[in-house]
A and B are shown apart, each in its own frame.
Chain A
Amino acid sequence: MGTRVELYRFGDGAADALALAQRAIEQVDDALTIHRPSAATALNEALRRGETGVIDDPLLLDALIRIDDARAMTERLFDPTVDMRRATVRWERLRFDRSAATLACDAPAALDFGGFGKGYALDRAVTALRDAGVACALLSAGESSMAVIGEHPLGGAWSFAVPDPRDADRTLVEVALIDEALSISSTLGLGLAAPERAAMVRPGRSAAVVAPRSAVVVDASGAVAEMLSTALIVADDEAAQRLQDGVRRMLFDLAPAAPTRIFA
């Protein structure tokens, strides 16, 4: 993975639990990476040629099913589709046949699993750790995707301070987690885009999102948290309101003109 992954475990569990979790993360990376030959690049090649892509990698298939299932929840705002021509091809234009494990599109398209992969990898690692009997752990992928198993080793929730992207010395919010995952997405004008961050494109439009925003989402699933935080970043104000469920999902809008914090 391009990101730094850190795993910390405490207490009981199999001796090789961390190795198993690491392997789980590597498997996700091997399947979804677009930086070297992988199941994902093979699928993209087929889509680019206008052919039906056969998905024979079970991890890739599982990832696509999760993304497909999350369409309504993210108001169709999380979309892994990259339009090869104009911003007209979206996930709905692809023909995804789950039982046949195929994906096809009548226009050149490609998939990019950024905005999903890190959270998904953490989910798989959490499962591996739990299966190995670990009941207390902290997992981080680049410190913008986190997951915890159980309570803090000393009891109670794990508490994290999320920095204000405009001023790393300030805390934007403190988040308490137990058996949950956290995803943080931000954008602050293209000129100041973080080195590791690609421009966010609002689905259906070709212009990159430039409004400074930061979204912090907590969910039981890292993949869901990540898809939602990505969706919140590209949502317009009404969609953002609808995405809010008032409990676990938070959006901070950092536009200088807007109120600092729309949701809390």
Chain B
Amino acid sequence: MTDKTFEFTRRTFLDRVLMASAGGVMATATPWAAIAARAESAGAGKVRLGVIGTGDRGRALIQNIAKTRNCTVAAICDNYAPHLAKARQWVAAGTAEFSDHRKMLEARGLDAVVIATPLHRHAQHTFDAMDAGLHVWCEKAMARTIADCGAMVERARTCGKVLQIGHQRMFHPTYLNAWRRVKAGEIGTVTQIRASWHRNNAWRRPVPADSDDRRINWRLYRESSAGLMTELATHQLQVGNWFLDAVPTRVIGSGSICFWKDGREVYDHVALIYEYAGGRKLIYTSLLNNARYGCEEQIQGSKGTIEPELGRIYQEVPPRSLALQRMQADVKRGHKRTIPIGGATWFPELPVTTPGESLGWGEYDETMLQFEGFGEAVRSGKPLPGLLQQAYNASVASLLGEQAMDRGEAVAWPTSLVTV
């Protein structure tokens, strides 16, 4: 994408978000997106970010931050030198570098910290940053334990700092439009979401000679990760809660190390049912040896289905009205003939393969937009409304799913959660 087309895409998307916000529903119901879309160029007053963790994700974040109007990367930190070196190309020459995040915090000169370290480090890095008086943007999932997720929320409150978690789907134009269309009743009553993240690879990274498996492949070890649940499912559980406008009442699940018996500790195959009030369900599967169904959330209503990853909406009953409409046209031109009607025709109950329609609102860089939103939050000192609640619920849901699978029993939604 050239700079010019990027500017154009930015404008058209932001206009759509703003237009929808002006209509009322989006402004009150998805205020975070409206605020982010209104972000202005900050010139010299850009929010100065220090990035902790310049691995795969951290470097992608740095590139996205560079595109924002109101944020800049002022320092980078990683305790693994080769990753710090790889990040260097994406930041301005002379940007401060650290191997210890505490040194970066002590050096000052930052407004906020971006955390893209392994899951089990998120809580400590958040506490340290907030204790140093900084706002925090942290990657999902929030933390390795439900207690730590709650402690992060509490710490943000006591320190009076913004805590924003990286759930970029909440800034994705297609998701925002899907949400708007669900609220408008276009797919009827939503009773089920079937979500999956299926890959066909080991999910294992090559380990350089100067590192070790636990550090590089932290996602495969229980100490540092809940595997598929915290790394992948969190995103989709967030979408589920958001579209069902609730948190689950309980979860049942089954997890196994089924295909990649390579010494990993986390499941490579999970299947769970999250129950919601009124009998609604989110049915979730994630596995690592078949990619046909990929990553998707099928939002299923009585009148239609939305598949936001594909960006499509499908009508439940394919419009069969053509015969009657043709009758109307016939009458206009003075022509009378027998009207063929659908009647009570039946057909085998095979999956419906109608192509559906595009959801609209197209491509846009949601990861960039969430930083523009964060920049506004830091500048005003006020968190983007609604975001942290969604993130907290999604992280709790993913960790609760892990518990349900480990214990082999249904686990109720905790009553002891902190209030956001």
Contacts and interface: CB of A to CB of B under 8 A. Distances in A.
Of B317, B345, B348, most A-chain CB atoms within 10 Å: B345
A165 B302 contact: no
B346 A146 contact: no
Contact of A156 (B302, B317, B336, B348): B336
Contacts, number: 96
A194 B344 contact: yes
Contact of B341 (A160, A185, A193): A160
Given A4-B317, A162-B341, A188 B327 contact: no
Contact-size category for B: 20 to 34
Interface stretch (B287-295, B318-326, B408-416): B318-326
B320 A163 contact: no
A184 B343 CA distance: 6
Contact of B340 (A36, A146, A163): A163
Contact of A192 (B320, B336, B348): B348
A172 B319 CA distance: 22
B331 interface: yes
B349 A158 contact: no
Nearest to A195: B349
Contacts of A161: 338-341
A2 interface: yes
A81 to B, nearest CB: 23
B263 interface: no
Nearest to B338: A159
A115 to B, nearest CB: 12
Contact of A168 (B317, B327, B337, B345): B345
Nearest to A197: B346
B338 A174 contact: yes
B28 interface: no
A159 B339 contact: yes
B324 A8 contact: yes
A152 B347 CA distance: 31
A8 B341 contact: no
Given A36-B189, A163-B345, A171 B340 contact: yes
A184 B346 CA distance: 12
B334 interface: yes
Contacts of B303: 2
Interface residues of A, number: 43
B343 A4 contact: no
B341 A140 contact: yes
B342 interface: yes
B201 interface: no
Interface in A167-216: 168, 171-172, 174, 184-186, 188, 191-197, 214, 216
A165 B317 contact: no
Contact of B343 (A10, A165, A196): A165
A248 interface: no
A142 B342 contact: yes
Contacts of A144: 342-344
13 contacts: A4-B317, A35-B189, A35-B302, A143-B341, A154-B334, A160-B340, A162-B341, A171-B340, A184-B344, A191-B348, A193-B346, A194-B345, A194-B347
Contacts of B317: 3-4, 142, 196
B342 A10 contact: no
B338 A6 contact: no
Contacts of A186: 343-346
Given A159-B337, A192-B347, 6 more contacts: A143-B342, A159-B338, A165-B344, A165-B345, A172-B343, A192-B346
B328 interface: yes
Interface in A79-109: none
A46 interface: no
Interface string A200-236: 0000000000000010100000000000000000000
A143 B346 contact: no
Nearest to B324: A6
A129 B207 CA distance: 75
Contact of A152 (B336, B342, B343): B336
A65 to B, nearest CB: 27
A172 B339 CA distance: 13
Interface in B295-335: 302-303, 317, 319-321, 323-324, 327-328, 331, 334-335
Nearest to A143: B342
A153 interface: yes
A145 to B, nearest CB: 10
Top 8 nearest A-B pairs by Cβ distance?
Answer: A194-B346, A143-B342, A186-B344, A159-B338, A154-B336, A184-B344, A161-B340, A143-B341
A138 B324 contact: yes
A93 B336 CA distance: 50
Contacts of A3: 317
Of B320, B340, B341, most A-chain CB atoms within 10 Å: B341
